[in-house]
Amino acid sequence: MIRLLNQGDYQLTETRDITKILRLSGKGVFAWINTGKVGEILVATSGEFSNLYTLASGKYRIYEVKNEPSLTDTLHLELFTGKSLWQGYLLITGFPTTEHKRSRIIPTTEIITRSKHSESKAPSTHPQDLPGF
């Protein structure tokens, strides 16, 4: 089962001290930190940031995946990167919350949104239109 949970606009920025900030409309603001040994994590934040440099912006989609043979059972975040391309990320423990302020974000080649869809079109959720069918 693949279920579209949320979609909207995102903005990825960077501070002068090289901290990335991910803003997802309707979802929140997260610091995106590379911890070295653990890998990349998202940290819930409500702070205000100044002197930001824009790295990327576009559309995002969040999917819940369960029992799909070619996809990992977890939350999938996909960011539109341009020219009909999407970058996928796995959120094994979900998004950070007020109780659990950190969660891992893992880049993946598992892309649910098909590349033939433009930035403004919603993805098909019919099983025959999804990868692996």
Q: What residue spans define the domains of the chain?
A: 2-119
Q: How crowded is the C-beta side of 1, counted as CA atoms within 13 Å?
A: 4
- Reported as a single tens digit per residue, the pLDDT across 31-68 is 999 998 889 999 998 777 776 899 999 999 999 999 99
C-alpha–C-alpha distance, residues 70 and 88, integer Å: 14
Residue 85 has pLDDT above 50, yes or no: yes
What is the average pLDDT score of the chain?
A: 85
pTM exceeding the 0.85 threshold for the entire prediction: no
Percentage of the chain surpassing pLDDT 90?
A: 62
Per DSSP, which regions of the chain are E strands?
A: 2-14, 20-24, 28-34, 40-44, 53-65, 75-82, 85-91, 102-104, 106-108
Task: Supply the pLDDT for residue 115.
Answer: 53
